[in-house]
Amino acid sequence: MTEAKDDSPVGDVEIVVHPGKQELSDAIAARLVTSIADAQAARGVAHVSLTGGSLGSDLWASVVALPARSAVDWSRVELWWGDERYLPAGDADRNDVQNDAAGLASLPLDQARVHRVLGPDASDSAEASAAAYGEVMRASGAGAFDVMILGVGPDGHVASLFPGHPAQQSVDAIAVAVHDSPKPPPDRVSLTFEALRRSREVWFIVAGADKAEAVANGVAGADPAVNSAAQVKGEQRTLWLIDKDAAENL
């Protein structure tokens, strides 16, 4: 595997560029397995927040193909999602369903530790679902996520916090209902900036030339009206794990 840049610092973030999407997915998988094993050695249980999108799912196919995955005790991994479409359980457009189909479901996870966002089949509203998700997170005893994995949209959104959207303004909450999303479906549940920042490490995973401007703005620290990714940093480390096309504006 060849890396064009190896943890090159830009301000207080680090950037790692890989030749293409598959190489990037495989590298994220290897890094994730190591980070989970390290977190378990240090704290017993690893808390990881997942993302949707094609790369967010591809990485699970890469994890399943990785022999080193056996270094992880998957029964001691607490899994969360940074956001979820407010759709019924099992809907093909849900992030958790897409992650499961890509390989997540084949891992020997403790399903009691796989924390899925309630949809309209199990909650009265996106607001009720957001409140329930926050309560589960509080009850889990997670002081911070060990790894927060975030995809970045071409518009610079992360989770379901879109630039300039009122949901960005939510404070003193773990999760928020998002309505009138500029990207379908219109109703979603998202972790807030406050919750996303409560992470030891934040990893932005991005592939494709259509996201190059969003990457450049995120790394440069653009305003919330322009870029949501720029508003999130890890407590210990912030990584941009990207492919060559997504790096072309850096």
Tell me the mean pLDDT in the region 44-67: 97
Asked if pLDDT for residue 212 goes beyond 80, the answer is: yes
Rounded to 5°, the CA angle 133-54-111 comes to 40
Burial class (CB in 10 A: 0-12, 13-18, 19+), 56: buried
DSSP, collapsed to helix, strand or coil, labels residue 105 as helix
Q: Give Cα 208 distance to the centre of its chain.
A: 17
Q: Residue 148: beta bridge partners? A: 49, 202
State the pLDDT at residue 3.
43
State the pLDDT at residue 246.
98
Asked if pLDDT for residue 1 goes beyond 70, the answer is: no
| Confidence grade of residue 7 (pLDDT, cut at 50, 70, 90) | low
Asked if pLDDT for residue 189 goes beyond 60, the answer is: yes
Asked if pLDDT for residue 4 goes beyond 70, the answer is: no
How does pLDDT run across 19-45, given as a tens digit for each residue? 999 999 999 999 999 999 999 999 999
Beta strands in 43-154 (DSSP E): 46-50, 77-81, 83-85, 145-151
Q: Cis before residue 9, ω within 30 degrees of 0? A: no
State the pLDDT at residue 2.
34
CB of 151 within 8 A of CB of 206?
Answer: yes
How does pLDDT run across 151-184, given as a tens digit for each residue? 999 999 999 999 999 999 888 899 999 999 999 9
Q: Report the predicted TM-score, pTM, of the whole model to 2 decimal places.
A: 0.95
CATH of domain 5-243: 3.40.50.1360
State the pLDDT at residue 54.
96
State the pLDDT at residue 141.
79
Q: How far apart are CA 59 and CA 191, in angstroms?
A: 21
How does pLDDT run across 124-144, given as a tens digit for each residue? 999 999 999 999 999 997 789
DSSP, collapsed to helix, strand or coil, labels residue 24 as helix
State the pLDDT at residue 11.
55
At residue 60, what are phi and psi to the nearest 5 degrees?
-75, -30
